[in-house]
Amino acid sequence: MINIKISYEFNRINDTLGDFSRLYWVVFCFCFLPFVSPAIALCIGMFFSLLGIKHASMHRYTSKILQLSIVLLGFGMGLEEVITASKTGFTQTLFSVTLVMAGGIILGRLFRVEKNITLLIATGTAICGGSAIAAVAPIIRSESYQNSFALIVVFVLNAIALLLFPFIGHRLGLSQEVFGNWAAIAIHDTSSVVGAGAIYGEKALQVATTVKLIRALWIIPLSIVLALFSKNGDKHSIKFPWFILLFVAAILFAYIFPAFESSYAHFSWLGRRGMVVALFLIGSNITINQIKQSGARSFLLGITLWVITAAGSLFLLIR
């Protein structure tokens, strides 16, 4: 009887895991639909977690999916555009990225936010939101819930900025050039920068997109710096971000072999969709206890840093 009961329980557990596995695969396919944004995928993952739906084995691949997605995105970046953008706004972006990172670290200590969450929020604010967070997360070996909090903060503030920035710009009478620069510096994700610029005007869109591209390039040097200062347990060894070098290699490969341009577009699309899948996995691994542990302070840090960045950059642009 005991053996029969154990066998029954074992089979029931296997059936449950099988259901979860099939459900996860359904969501994976759903993430490749064009209307499914990273924010939607993250919310679905969190909803799964709140319902107690877990698939531990799949979460082991989250970091790999993030890294592969970053590399694939490199195929969608033109080398000439990257070089041109770097020449036009290098000093401006160096100044803003350095100040935002330093300010984020200081505020993180004042608000007593976990170190990894602080670095992720500061990186997302300084560079390019969710993409920067996804690139840095494997380097500093942050936990899934830490990634989730940083991404939630960024997505919420992006949604607000998309509507708030054009309204403020029109009320203050900002020129197209000033607004484009302001949006590129103070809004996190590229999609929201492009959206705000498009709402404000064609010239604002062009300026915002160019400056945002320059900011996105700072993922590479910042990732290397973080890798040099991030230690691996007791061995104190450096975990070099090799996937960042592959990201650069993808940009160079696309430039050297332009004949495969149609394939590069598919690779870039796959990278964007891969990010959506990874965010679903990150969200599904968060818990209520983790939310209670760091949620409020993380939002306070993100909001404060964002307001300071937006107000400070606007002041410098219009003075």
Least confident of 84-98, 144-158, 296-310: 84-98
Q: Would you say residue 3 has pLDDT above 60?
A: no
**How far is Cα 101 from Cα 108, in angstroms, rounded to an integer?**
10
Count CA atoms within 13 Å of residue 144 on its CB side: 22
Question: Who has greater pLDDT, 238 or 68?
Answer: 68
Query: 212-230: per-residue pLDDT in tens?
Result: 777 877 888 888 888 877 6
How does DSSP classify residue 55?
-
Q: For residues 133 and 122, give the distance between their C-alpha atoms in angstroms, rounded to a whole number.
A: 9
Q: Give pLDDT tens digits for 103-139.
A: 999 999 999 888 899 999 999 999 888 778 888 888 8
Q: pLDDT tens across 147-201, in order? A: 878 888 887 787 788 779 999 999 999 998 889 889 988 988 776 787 788 788 8
pLDDT top residue among 261 and 311: 311
- Residue of 184, 103, 118, 198 lying closest to 153 (CA atoms): 118
